Amino acid sequence: MDTQVAIIGGGPSGLLLSQLLNRAGIGTVILERSSRAHVLARIRAGILEWGTVELLHEAGVGARMDAEGIPHDGCYLSDDSTMIHIDFKELTGKRVMVYGQTEVTTDLYAAQDAMGTTILHDVSEVEIHDLDQAKSHIEFTHEGTRKRLNCFYVAGCDGFHGVSRRTIPDEIRREFERVYPFGWLGILSETPPVNDELIYSNSSHGFALASMRNENLVRYYVQVPLSDTVEDWSDQRFWDEFSRRIPSEAARRLVTGPSIEKSIAPLRSFVSEPLRWGNLFLVGDAAHIVPPTGAKGLNLAASDVYYLYTTLIDALNGKSTTGIDEYSARALARIWKAMRFSWQMTTMLHRFDGEDAFAEQMRKATLSHLAHSETARRDLAENYIGLPF
Ligand code: FAD
Ligand code: DHB
């Protein structure tokens, strides 16, 4: 099999890159480890920066998002005594979109099917070869047979546990990591949202986030110890804990119901540099992970795709290879700023086990500064709605 760009991973990064390349007449083949049903069932991100919204439009997949997504002009940060409103619209002129990652992925699969793109699911034992040659190839197992895909470029869109990053030799790769001592327990429940905008709550009992998918589907989270499992958290225990962590005026409005999904995600900051090695380009979670507190994971994947796709088109059309040479540095400049923001939001809003009284005072002072300084709120809003591509 031959293609111009081989894409490893059929998550949001791989699908969006493929869709944008296909629309420019570039051929792609996507190799995905899981079934489509499995990819579509993974409940993850919920907030799209406006730059991501525009890129999805550019990819021709904006129609359902426009009809069903919910634009949000602000969010709340709170502690036990204060609710701080961050008015994105007033502070930056921009807003974000509530539209789940599962919906983005569904729309992209539909668009790719309409485009006739080859997407192979349930592939295994993927190996990338000849990255330093004019043409590279990938060997993989599909339907019990070992197969070969020849290509000019390889896009490593295979997430944190994928093979692409590990194909780059150890002596070339530099990794930066911070693992946080807690996770987020998230539930989906078919109940009306407790508030019309998101609430990020730093309570004395720990962090909670009230988010949503639509007017009758909520996504709520609580900070939990890493040792906890989903089995430790009955629905009743979740609702009791969540309601004492959100501001009391919101808790009075809380409607509870059965959970339809429940999962725990550990929190981590991670960057692997460089993003390019020979004909291989790392995109999205394959290269970096942010803790979810700033809602940046999916949005960073989209900005990587933005930086890569036009430069791949230029290179493959024989125009210029300057763009692909610059991809790693351009994408990393934005990635590190989102890393900083996500780390800062995480530090400001969570209780760390064993922390000293000084750390607690710093958190309180940071929130108090936000409550009283429009400049501080504007800085937070500018980062939350997304730095320019
Ligand atoms: P992925 O979505 O990980 O997709 C990679 C794809 O590659 C997968 O489909 C995988 O099956 C496939 N793959 C892996 N290995 C191979 C292989 N060897 N061969 C072929 N295919 C392979 N972000 C937020 O903003 N908010 C959130 O609340 C949030 N929650 C999250 C919860 C969890 C549990 C996780 C893991 C992430 C969460 N994120 C969140 C981050 C966000 O979902 C990711 O940033 C986003 O999915 C990145 O997209 P991606 O396509 O780069 O990677
Ligand atoms: C959601 C997840 C986040 O990490 C976040 O910061 C905001 C919203 C969500 O799943 O809706």
Answer yes or no: is the C-beta of 298 below 6 A from any ligand 1 atom. Answer: yes
CA of 300 relative to ligand 2 center, distance in Å: 14
CA of 92 relative to ligand 1 center, distance in Å: 29
Q: Which ligand is nearest to the CA of 72?
A: 2
Answer yes or no: is the C-beta of 349 below 6 A from any ligand 2 atom. Answer: no
In this predicted structure, the answer to whether residue 81 has a pLDDT above a threshold of 90 is: no
CA of 101 relative to ligand 2 center, distance in Å: 10
**Are 12 and 109 a contacting pair, CB within 8 Å?**
no
Which pLDDT score, from 0 to 100, does residue 32 have? 98
Percent of the chain with pLDDT over 90: 98
Q: Which ligand is nearest to the CA of 294?
A: 2
Nearest CA owner, ligand 2 atom 7: 295
DSSP state of 250: H
Other beta carbons less than 10 A from residue 214's beta carbon: 16
> Active-site residue 121, yes or no?
no
**Are 32 and 118 a contacting pair, CB within 8 Å?**
no
Angle between helices 297-316 and 322-349 (to 10 degrees): 180
Which pLDDT score, from 0 to 100, does residue 243 have? 97
How far apart CA 95 and CA 85 sit, in angstroms, is 14
> Active-site residue 72, yes or no?
yes
> Active-site residue 364, yes or no?
no
pLDDT in tens, 341-358: 999 999 999 999 889 999
Q: Map out the domains of the chain with their CATH numbers.
A: 5-72+95-177+268-347 (3.50.50.60), 181-266+351-384 (3.30.9.10)
**Cα dihedral 345, 346, 351, 356 in deg (nearest 10):** -80
What is the pLDDT averaged over residues 322-344?
98
CA of 159 relative to ligand 1 center, distance in Å: 5
Which pLDDT score, from 0 to 100, does residue 288 have? 98
Which pLDDT score, from 0 to 100, does residue 80 have? 82
Q: Which ligand is nearest to the CA of 298?
A: 1
Strand segments, DSSP code E, in 116-169 are 118-120, 124-129, 136-142, 145-151, 153-156
Q: Name the catalytic one among 76, 153, 221, 296.
A: 296
Q: Which atom of ligand 2 is nearest the CA belonging to 297?
A: 4
Answer yes or no: is the C-beta of 10 below 6 A from any ligand 1 atom. Answer: yes
In this predicted structure, the answer to whether residue 82 has a pLDDT above a threshold of 90 is: no
Q: Which atom of ligand 1 is nearest the CA belonging to 285?
A: 52
CA of 303 relative to ligand 2 center, distance in Å: 18
Answer yes or no: is the C-beta of 61 below 6 A from any ligand 2 atom. Answer: no
Nearest CA owner, ligand 2 atom 1: 46
CA of 76 relative to ligand 2 center, distance in Å: 13
Answer yes or no: is the C-beta of 100 below 6 A from any ligand 2 atom. Answer: no
DSSP state of 179: E
> Active-site residue 220, yes or no?
no
Question: How confident is residue 192, by pLDDT bands cut at 50, 70 and 90?
Answer: very high
Average pLDDT across the chain, whole number: 97
> Active-site residue 296, yes or no?
yes
pTM beyond cutoff 0.80: yes
Question: How confident is residue 129, by pLDDT bands cut at 50, 70 and 90?
Answer: very high
**Are 275 and 173 a contacting pair, CB within 8 Å?**
no
ipTM above 0.85, yes or no: yes
Mutate to test the pocket of ligand 1, among 124, 158, 211, 261 (most ligand atoms within 8 A of CB): 158
In this predicted structure, the answer to whether residue 264 has a pLDDT above a threshold of 90 is: yes
Other beta carbons less than 10 A from residue 2's beta carbon: 13
What is the pLDDT averaged over residues 168-182?
97
**Are 184 and 221 a contacting pair, CB within 8 Å?**
yes
Q: Which atom of ligand 2 is nearest the CA belonging to 294?
A: 6
Q: Which ligand is nearest to the CA of 299?
A: 1
Q: Name the catalytic one among 180, 200, 306, 307.
A: 200
Q: Which ligand is nearest to the CA of 265?
A: 1
Q: Name the catalytic one among 153, 247, 292, 307.
A: 292
CA of 346 relative to ligand 2 center, distance in Å: 13
Other beta carbons less than 10 A from residue 318's beta carbon: 7
Nearest CA owner, ligand 1 atom 34: 265
